[in-house]
Chain A
C-alpha cells in the first residue's frame, strides 16, 4: 500500500507542476484511480482460472494508472505505469531526441495462476526436496498454489544519429518463480502416478544488438542475440518411496548465442533481392547424477539461410521466388552412449509465387513450394526407430475481386502433399504412423467476403475448411477435419454511438485407429473419433447519451465448446474370457463413449458508464459478470488419491474444479492534464 501511495503522490505532484505552467502544453498526461470489488464463487481451480493472468483481489482494491507525456520539437519523454503493487504492475519510460536516438526502460509483472490450494502429502512444495511418506488421508496433506509469477525488466536503445547507419540494443531480464504441476512414476517402469509440485525459480537474461545500414537501395544489418537461462534447482529430490534415481530432473541451465545477417538490395524493374543468414549455438549443462554420467553437456548448433527475389516489373505482374535452409545439429556430449535421442534435422525449401492483375478488378495469385526434411537421431541403433525423411509439395491459388465499391471477395485453395521415405525396412513395416512424419494430403479451402454497404458499416464473413488425410496410415491418426465460420460487423451511428458484434462457429474432428496387440488372445482394433464443436458470439455498443459527456458501454461475449470422443472397440475387448477386463465393468460399445471432453461455457458481460465532467475530469462506474462452466471426464469428481493397487495415483489437484462465477463492480476517476 505504501508503494501505491508513494507512486500516486509523485504522479499527482507532477500533474500539479504541469498545471502551474498551462501555457506550455509540452507536458500532458493522465492519472486514474479505479476501485474494484470482486466476488468469486468457485473452488480452488475456479478462483485460479478467474485470475489466470490477472491480479484481482476478492476483497477489492484500488488500481492506479498514470501516463505522462513530454513532447517538444526536439525531444520526447513518456512515462506509463499502473497496477502499482499488484502482480500485474508495470512501469515504462521511453524517450529520446527526435531523429537521433530513442531509449526505453521497463519493469512489469504477470502471473499465471493454475490452481490455488493444491495439495501434496509431501513437505517441501516450492523447494528442491520433497520429504515424507505418501498417504491417502488427503485432509492431512500440505497445501500450496500452482502459480507462476514473471517479473521482467530491461531497456533498449535505438540510435539514428549517424543515419543511414543505425545501432539498436536491448536487454531484458526475467525472473520467474512459483510452482507448476509435473508428473513422475513411482517405479520405473509403471507404478503409481505421482503429480508433484515442481519448483520454478528461473532467471533468463536476453541481450540483443544490431548494427546496420539502411538507405535505399541497400539494407544491411548484423544482429547478435545472447540468452542465458539459469534454474536455481537442478533437480527435484524425491522421497524414499520412489525407485532410483530418486530425483526428478528440472530444466538445465542453458546459454544461447545467435548471429545473423540480413540484407536487401533494390534491383531494376522494381525488383528486390533479400537474404537472411544465421547461425546459433545452444549449450546446456547439468550436474545431476544421471544415467548417462555425472556431468552432461548439451550442445546444439543451427545454421540457416534464405534468399528471396521479388519483382513487380510491370503493374499487372508480381513475382516471388525464394529458397530457405535450416539445419539443426545436436553435438551433445554422450560419454556412455546411453542417450541416443539426439535429434538432427535439416529442411530445404524452394518456392515460387506469381500474382496477376486481371481485368474487372480480379487479382489472381498462386504458387508452389517444395520442402525436403531430413532427420536422424545421433547413434541410431534400433532400425525400427529410425526417423523417416519427408518431401512436401504445396500448391496454392487465391482469387480476389474488388469490382464493387462496397464489396471485396476472396477465395483460396491450398493443396499440401507429404511423402514419407522410411529409411529402413523395419521402420517402414511398423504398423503405426506418427502423424508428425506420416504421409498426408491436406486440402484447405477458404472464402472471405467484406461488405461495406455504408460508409460507417462493415460486415465480414469468412469460411475455412481444412481436411488432412494421413493416406498411408492404418494405425495412428488417420484424418483431421476442421470447419470454421466467422462473421463480424461494426457500425458507427454518427453522433449516437457505435455497435459491433461477431459470431464464430467451428467444428473439429480427429479420427484415429489403433490396434491392441498385448493382453488379448489376438490383436484387435479400436478406434476413437474426437469431436469439438465450438461456437461463440460477442456484441457491444457505445452509446453517446450526451455527446462527449455521457457514454454508455455494453459488452457481452459468449463461447461454448462441446467435446466428445466416440470409441469403437472390437468385440473381443468386451469378452469375459481373454478380454481387456472391460467385461467386468459392464462395458460395451454403447456406454464407453466420452461425452465430456473439455466442455465449457465462457460467458461474460460488462456495462459501464463514463461521464466526462470537464475536459480534464472523468468518472466511470460499471459492473461485470463472468461465468466459466467446465466439465470434463478426466477431471470431474476429482479424487486426490484414487485407489487401484499399482495403478493408483497421488495427485495435487492441478486443473480441478475450474468453474467459477464472478461479480465485479468497479468505478474510478481519471484526471487529464
Chain B
C-alpha cells in the first residue's frame, strides 16, 4: 500500500510527456503567411517589420515562425470571410480573456529572464494581460514596446499613485525639463512579478531596495534607531507626501508618535511656539525642522545614542 504514490509517478510522467508533445504539435493548416496579412493590414505589417519581432537573427522570433500568425493564429478563415476585427482571427480585443492573450505572448516570452515570477505577480492575479502595457504595433516607447512612457503607463491603472506623486515631496519620476527620468516605476518595481509578491519590488525587503540609491543609510551604525533598519516605511512614504523628505507625518508629531515618555518629547508644541509665537521656552523643538534641529543623525550615528552627533 505504501508504494502506491510512487506507482503513480511514471503514470504522471507519461501524461506529462503526452501533454507536452500534444501542446508542441502544430498543424500547418490554415496559415496564409504574412504577405497575405500585409495586403490588408499595411500599417500593422510595417510596424511589425520594423520591430524586434521581425529580426531573423533572434531565434524563435515570429519572423522565424509564422510571422503575423505566430501571435494572431491561422488566418485562412479570416481571409476567406473577408476580414473584420476578430472575425476568425485572434485580435487581442478588450473583451478577450486576459489569459488567452497572455498565453500568446508567453509562448515565446514565458522563459525570458525577468518572467520567472510572472505566475506569482499581482498583475497576473488581477487579470492584466500583456497588451494592457505593451503594443507590438503602435508602441510609444520602442524599448520594451510600451504603450506609454512611464509613469503615465502605470498611472492609467494606479490612479492613487499618480495623486501621491503629484504631492510636493516626491521621487523625481515625472519632472518637466529634465533630460532623463532619474527614477522610473520600474526602477523599484518589476511589473512582471518578483519574489516580493504584493508590491513586486526588486529586492527582498523594502530597506534593501532603498539602499540601492541611498547607500549611506545602509550602515551598520554603532547606534541604530530601531525602526530604521527594519522598515524605512515606518517614517517615509514611498511615492509622495505633503511633507518634505517624503515623511509620513511632520516632526515633531511624527517623532512624538513613538517618543512620548519623559522630558521634552512629551511637551505639546503649539502654534504659539512658532517663530512668531510668544512662547519663550522649548521653541527650537518646534520650529524649522523640529526634532531634527538637534537629532539630525536620525538614521543612525557613530557617536550618539540620541543621534545628536
Measured in the bound complex, the distance between the Cα atoms of B99 and A52 in whole Å is: 43
Question: Do the beta carbons of B113 and A168 come within 8 Å of each other?
Answer: yes
Nearest opposing residue in chain B for A286, CB measure: B302
Question: Do the beta carbons of A247 and B276 come within 8 Å of each other?
Answer: no
Q: State whether the Cβ of A278 lies closer than 8 Å to any Cβ in chain B.
A: yes
Measured in the bound complex, the distance between the Cα atoms of B180 and A613 in whole Å is: 27
Among A245, A538, A565, the one with the most B-chain Cβ atoms within 10 Å of its Cβ is: A565
- Summarize B's interface: helix, strand, loop or mixed: loop
Measured in the bound complex, the distance between the Cα atoms of B184 and A108 in whole Å is: 15
Question: Do the beta carbons of B266 and A272 come within 8 Å of each other?
Answer: no
Chain A, range 231-264, C-beta contacts under 8 Å to B: 231, 235, 245, 247-249, 251-252, 254, 256, 258, 260, 262-264
Question: Do the beta carbons of B274 and A633 come within 8 Å of each other?
Answer: yes
Measured in the bound complex, the distance between the Cα atoms of B196 and A326 in whole Å is: 11
Contacts of B229 in A (CB 8 A): 300, 328, 330, 343
What are 7 sample pairs from A and B whose C-beta atoms fall under 8 A apart? Answer: A90-B180, A185-B295, A215-B111, A231-B216, A512-B253, A634-B274, A647-B285
Contacts of B292 in A (CB 8 A): 183
Number of A-B residue pairs with CB-CB distance less than 8 Å in the complex they form: 441
Question: Do the beta carbons of A598 and B256 come within 8 Å of each other?
Answer: no
Question: Do the beta carbons of B275 and A477 come within 8 Å of each other?
Answer: no
Q: Which of B33-41, B133-141, B219-227 contacts A (4 or more CB under 8 A)?
A: B219-227
Measured in the bound complex, the distance between the Cα atoms of B94 and A592 in whole Å is: 56
Q: State whether the Cβ of B65 lies closer than 8 Å to any Cβ in chain A.
A: no
Q: Which of A16-24, A130-138, A431-439 contacts B (4 or more CB under 8 A)?
A: A431-439
Known: A249-B309, A638-B275. A82 touches B268 (CB 8 A): no
Contacts of A268 in B (CB 8 A): 12, 15-16, 19
- The chain B residues found within 8 Å of chain A, CB to CB, are 12, 15-16, 19, 50, 52, 55-59, 94-95, 99, 110-113, 116-117, 119-120, 125-127, 155-156, 159-160, 162-163, 166-168, 172, 175-180, 182, 195, 197, 204-205, 208, 211-212, 215-227, 229-231, 234, 242-244, 249-250, 253, 256-264, 266-268, 270-272, 274-290, 292-297, 301-306, 308-309
Question: Do the beta carbons of A355 and B281 come within 8 Å of each other?
Answer: no
Question: Do the beta carbons of B230 and A216 come within 8 Å of each other?
Answer: no
Among B159, B179, B195, B297, the one with the most A-chain Cβ atoms within 10 Å of its Cβ is: B179
Question: Do the beta carbons of B120 and A82 come within 8 Å of each other?
Answer: no
Nearest opposing residue in chain B for A587, CB measure: B272
Known: A248-B309, A282-B218, A635-B288. A304 touches B204 (CB 8 A): yes
* Beyond A290-B222, A655-B244, 10 additional pairs, beta carbon < 8 A: A330-B220, A343-B226, A430-B261, A486-B160, A561-B242, A582-B270, A582-B279, A592-B272, A634-B286, A645-B280
Measured in the bound complex, the distance between the Cα atoms of B203 and A324 in whole Å is: 13
Question: Do the beta carbons of B287 and A634 come within 8 Å of each other?
Answer: yes
Partner of A518, one of B55, B156, B220, B263: B263
Partner of B219, one of A65, A284, A400: A284
Question: Do the beta carbons of A569 and B268 come within 8 Å of each other?
Answer: yes
Among B119, B172, B243, the one with the most A-chain Cβ atoms within 10 Å of its Cβ is: B119
Minimum Cβ distance to chain A for residue B267 (Å): 7
Q: State whether the Cβ of A487 lies closer than 8 Å to any Cβ in chain B.
A: yes
Question: Do the beta carbons of B276 and A636 come within 8 Å of each other?
Answer: yes
Question: Do the beta carbons of B260 and A592 come within 8 Å of each other?
Answer: no
Minimum Cβ distance to chain B for residue A109 (Å): 9
Q: State whether the Cβ of A184 lies closer than 8 Å to any Cβ in chain B.
A: yes
Partner of A90, one of B167, B179, B284: B179
Q: State whether the Cβ of A222 lies closer than 8 Å to any Cβ in chain B.
A: no
Question: Do the beta carbons of A504 and B159 come within 8 Å of each other?
Answer: yes
Question: Do the beta carbons of B159 and A460 come within 8 Å of each other?
Answer: yes
Contacts of B117 in A (CB 8 A): 264, 274
Partner of B281, one of A263, A581, A587: A581
Question: Do the beta carbons of A648 and B284 come within 8 Å of each other?
Answer: yes
Question: Do the beta carbons of B195 and A196 come within 8 Å of each other?
Answer: no
Measured in the bound complex, the distance between the Cα atoms of B46 and A636 in whole Å is: 60
Question: Do the beta carbons of A53 and B266 come within 8 Å of each other?
Answer: no
Measured in the bound complex, the distance between the Cα atoms of B295 and A296 in whole Å is: 21
Minimum Cβ distance to chain B for residue A620 (Å): 13
Question: Do the beta carbons of B215 and A585 come within 8 Å of each other?
Answer: no
Known: A332-B222, A647-B281. A214 touches B268 (CB 8 A): no
Question: Do the beta carbons of A534 and B230 come within 8 Å of each other?
Answer: no
Question: Do the beta carbons of A262 and B275 come within 8 Å of each other?
Answer: no
Question: Do the beta carbons of B260 and A249 come within 8 Å of each other?
Answer: no
Contacts of A206 in B (CB 8 A): 212
Question: Do the beta carbons of A195 and B293 come within 8 Å of each other?
Answer: yes
Minimum Cβ distance to chain A for residue B294 (Å): 4
Contacts of A35 in B (CB 8 A): none
Q: Which of A121-129, A186-194, A545-553 contacts B (4 or more CB under 8 A)?
A: A186-194
- Summarize A's interface: helix, strand, loop or mixed: strand
Nearest opposing residue in chain A for B267, CB measure: A516
Known: A638-B288, A649-B283. A365 touches B125 (CB 8 A): yes
| Mask of A521-541 contacts with B, CB within 8 angstroms, 1/0 | 000001010101010101000
Measured in the bound complex, the distance between the Cα atoms of B275 and A318 in whole Å is: 59
Nearest opposing residue in chain B for A513, CB measure: B260
Known: A387-B226, A580-B267. A502 touches B220 (CB 8 A): no
Q: Size class of A's contact patch?
A: 35 or more
Partner of B220, one of A168, A282, A602: A282
Minimum Cβ distance to chain A for residue B219 (Å): 6
| Mask of A190-224 contacts with B, CB within 8 angstroms, 1/0 | 10111110100010101000001011100101000
Question: Do the beta carbons of A183 and B295 come within 8 Å of each other?
Answer: yes
Partner of B306, one of A65, A189, A312, A510: A189
The 9 closest A-B pairs by CB, nearest first: A298-B220, A183-B296, A504-B163, A249-B302, A193-B293, A276-B195, A83-B179, A251-B216, A592-B270
Question: Do the beta carbons of A343 and B57 come within 8 Å of each other?
Answer: no
Measured in the bound complex, the distance between the Cα atoms of B69 and A467 in whole Å is: 51
Question: Do the beta carbons of B224 and A654 come within 8 Å of each other?
Answer: no
Known: A54-B176, A204-B215, A654-B289. A515 touches B272 (CB 8 A): no
Question: Do the beta carbons of A476 and B258 come within 8 Å of each other?
Answer: yes
Question: Do the beta carbons of B303 and A291 come within 8 Å of each other?
Answer: yes
Among B175, B195, B205, the one with the most A-chain Cβ atoms within 10 Å of its Cβ is: B195
Among B176, B211, B257, B274, the one with the most A-chain Cβ atoms within 10 Å of its Cβ is: B257
Question: Do the beta carbons of B197 and A322 come within 8 Å of each other?
Answer: yes
Question: Do the beta carbons of B303 and A299 come within 8 Å of each other?
Answer: no
Known: A476-B257, A504-B163. A99 touches B58 (CB 8 A): yes
Measured in the bound complex, the distance between the Cα atoms of B286 and A402 in whole Å is: 52
Question: Do the beta carbons of B57 and A73 come within 8 Å of each other?
Answer: yes
Chain A, range 141-186, C-beta contacts under 8 Å to B: 150, 163-164, 166, 168, 181-185
Measured in the bound complex, the distance between the Cα atoms of B120 and A264 in whole Å is: 11
Measured in the bound complex, the distance between the Cα atoms of B166 and A341 in whole Å is: 37
Partner of B222, one of A292, A318, A526: A292
Minimum Cβ distance to chain A for residue B55 (Å): 5
Measured in the bound complex, the distance between the Cα atoms of B277 and A363 in whole Å is: 58
Minimum Cβ distance to chain B for residue A235 (Å): 8
Q: State whether the Cβ of A391 lies closer than 8 Å to any Cβ in chain B.
A: no
Partner of B178, one of A88, A189, A318, A654: A88
Partner of A597, one of B52, B250, B288: B250
Known: A53-B182, A108-B180. A247 touches B266 (CB 8 A): no
Known: A256-B218, A528-B253, A654-B289. A98 touches B55 (CB 8 A): yes
Nearest opposing residue in chain B for A633, CB measure: B274
Nearest opposing residue in chain B for A320, CB measure: B120
Contacts of A116 in B (CB 8 A): none
Nearest opposing residue in chain A for B305, CB measure: A341
Measured in the bound complex, the distance between the Cα atoms of B12 and A465 in whole Å is: 48
Question: Do the beta carbons of A54 and B177 come within 8 Å of each other?
Answer: yes
Question: Do the beta carbons of B179 and A86 come within 8 Å of each other?
Answer: yes
Question: Do the beta carbons of A188 and B253 come within 8 Å of each other?
Answer: no
Contacts of B306 in A (CB 8 A): 185, 188-189
Q: State whether the Cβ of A469 lies closer than 8 Å to any Cβ in chain B.
A: no
Question: Do the beta carbons of B127 and A212 come within 8 Å of each other?
Answer: no
Question: Do the beta carbons of A343 and B197 come within 8 Å of each other?
Answer: no
Chain A, range 468-499, C-beta contacts under 8 Å to B: 475-477, 484, 486-488
Question: Do the beta carbons of A435 and B257 come within 8 Å of each other?
Answer: yes
